[in-house]
Amino acid sequence: MPGRVEGGGDVDRDGHGPGYAAEIATSTATRYLLLLETDLNRVFSRSLGSVAAAEFEGVTDGLLAPDHRPFDLATSSLGRAKGLSFASTAEPEVLQGLLGQLSCGLALFERTGDDGALRPRPLIESLAYDTDLVSVQRYRGKTNERLTRAMLNLALASAGIDLTGPRDPIPTVLDPMCGRGTTLNWALCYGLNAIGIEPDAGALRHYDGFLRTWAKQHRLPHKHQGFRSNNAEQRHATMDVAPTRAAQKAGEGQRIETFNADGGDRTLAIKRGSVDAIVTDLPYGVQHRADQAKLDPADTVELLTRVAPAWRRWLRKGGSVCVAWNVKRASRVDVAVALAEAGLIEKVPEHDHAHSMRHVVDSTITRDVLVAVAG
């Protein structure tokens, strides 16, 4: 049993004071510098350090044991390059695999010697498919690819899903406002199953065609069932794909499903509790309702209040939701309350955030990210 020492501090059975464990961790920890890849979007790059630090913190808190979580995390620089400096007692190989999946990581260095000389450590990226699946598709209104990957990482980590695999069974990611599929593509790159819901039939037709072309160009074994243009009730499309024939025969491929419907439509053929993580970028002025006359597209809180109960129905217990939205349309508190009313509880309250993912998109949009977990 712990005892007491003069001054009120606890001591352990060996008589060590309350700061002893922290001192040991500090003395045995290795210090690192993670360089960040500059984003082509200059506006987004201004917030790169804070966004990357928030992603780093959320992912490591979700997937590393408490005594191995990095500490002394701070933004730093090396010449014109931005970076994150930190210390950790985790095995280097574990860090290299975990940090290799981060959205903005460029290079990892271990600080050695009294002068803090930088020793390169490889970043290990574990992907089932090449990232050209995400980058080659260009269209107006596309969400920043790195932010989408960061959101996916946060959602998976919060749901206790390893970013590097292997995973059995294969987790399922849902984007209930998927547009042309940036979130679905990242999920596929990670070797996950993906479900997308989108009321804009044209966007889904473009995405459906893109997926088929991508699979054919890369000579990937796949089976596709598309929309039937002559049947208004046929709102469902699927594609089963695998990285190799051997993986396909072993049942190790992925399934992408899309529904031309409203993002809160409970009648869709999505089983209760079958989704592990929901990742979506809430609209800034794009309609996401079948009856367009009944909803102000800027009313983020009303939208969430309406669709979040369906999200909770589809999520398994312990599954997570990661949403991005325009803070000029709704406060963080209002978004958190709307999710909480559906049983989706914000994982880390705003006042506990050491780093923020809030960043400017343009003069009318300032975006933030919130993670909630299904109770």
pLDDT of residue 290: 44
Q: Which residue has the tokens 């090396």?
A: 78
Residue 199: which pLDDT band, with cuts at 50, 70 and 90? very high
Residue 127 in domain:
no
Average pLDDT over residues 314-334: 94
Q: Looking at residue 226, which CATH number applies to its domain?
A: 3.40.50.150
**Each residue's pLDDT tens digit, 115-174:** 889 999 999 999 999 999 998 876 665 678 899 999 999 999 999 999 987 788 999 999
DSSP 316-338: EEEEEEEEEEETTTS-HHHHHHH
Q: In the predicted model, what is the mean pLDDT of the chain?
A: 85
Contacts of 107 (CB under 8 A, 6+ apart): 34, 35, 120, 123
Average of pLDDT values for 46-74? 92
Say if residue 287's pLDDT is above 60.
no
Q: Is the pLDDT of residue 14 over 80?
A: no
Q: 10: domain CATH number? A: 3.30.70
Is residue 76, in this structure, part of any structural domain at all? yes
- Is there a domain that residue 216 lies in? yes
Q: Dump pLDDT digits (tens) for 221-234.
A: 999 887 665 545 55
Mark whether 49 and 90 lie in a shared domain: yes
User: Which of 100, 121, 142 corresponds to the end of one domain?
Assistant: 121
64, 56 Cβ separation under 8 angstroms:
no
Same domain, 242 and 278: yes
Domain that holds residue 33: 3-121
Tell me the per-residue pLDDT of 62-108, one tens digit each, with 9 for 90 and over.
Answer: 999 999 999 999 998 888 889 999 999 999 999 999 999 999 999 99
Say whether both 211 and 294 belong to one domain: yes
Least confident of 31-35, 150-154, 181-185, 250-254: 250-254
Residue 185 has pLDDT above 90, yes or no: yes
Res 271 pLDDT > 60: yes
What are phi and psi for residue 173, nearest 5 degrees? -110, 135
If asked whether residues 272 and 350 sit together in one domain, one would say yes
DSSP secondary structure letters along 59-115: HHHHHS-GGGS-EEEEEEEETTEEEEEEEE-S-HHHHHHHHTTSSSEEEEEEEETTT
pLDDT: which is higher, 218 or 351: 218
pLDDT for residue 18: 45
Is there a single domain that holds both residue 148 and residue 86?
Answer: no
d(CA 85, CA 152): 23
Whether the Cβ atoms of residue 68 and residue 30 lie closer than 8 Å to each other: no
Spatial CB neighbours of 199, under 8 Å, sequence gap ≥ 6: 260, 261, 262, 263, 287, 288, 289, 290
The pLDDT, as a whole number, for residue 273 is: 97
Of all residues in the chain, the percent with pLDDT exceeding 90 is 64
Q: Look at residue 229 in the predicted model and tell me its pLDDT.
A: 53
Distance separating alpha carbons of residues 152 and 323, to the nearest angstrom: 10
Q: In what order do the strands lie in the sheet with 105-112?
A: 71-78, 81-88, 30-36, 105-112, 117-121
Q: Which helix (H) or strand (E) holds 249?
A: helix 245-249
Q: Are residues 172 and 309 in the same domain?
A: yes
Q: Identify whether residues 107 and 170 lie together within a single domain.
A: no
Contact between 288 and 177 (Cβ < 8 Å): yes
Same domain, 99 and 229: no
Tell which of 121, 144, 167 closes a domain: 121
Same domain, 139 and 24: no
Higher pLDDT, 365 or 19: 365
Q: What is the mean pLDDT of residues 190-207?
A: 93
- Considering 89, 121, 153, which residue would you say is the last residue of a domain? 121
Distance CA 204, CA 213 (A): 14
What is the rounded CA–CA span in Å between residue 196 and residue 302?
21
Please indicate, yes or no, whether residues 28 and 104 belong to a single structural domain of this protein: yes
Cis, bond preceding 120 (omega within 30 deg of 0): no
Indicate the pTM of the whole model: 0.87
SS (H, E, C) 101-165: CCCCEEEEEEEECCCCEEEEECCCCCCCCCCHHHHCCCCCCCCCHHHHHHHHHHHHHHCCCCCCC
Do 336 and 299 belong to one domain? yes
Q: How confident is the model at residue 250 (pLDDT cuts 50, 70, 90)?
A: confident
Structural domain count, the chain:
2
Better-predicted residue by pLDDT, 226 or 326: 326
**pLDDT classification of 301: cutoffs 50, 70, 90:** very high
Q: Dump the DSSP string for 294-321.
A: G--TT-HHHHHHHHHHHHHHHEEEEEEE
**95 & 216 share domain:** no
Cis link prior to 169 (omega < 30° from 0)?
A: yes
Percent of the chain's residues with pLDDT above 70: 83
The whole-number pLDDT of residue 362 equals 81
- Cα dihedral across residues 46, 51, 53, 54: positive or negative: positive
Nearest to 278 by CA among 225, 236, 339, 237: 339
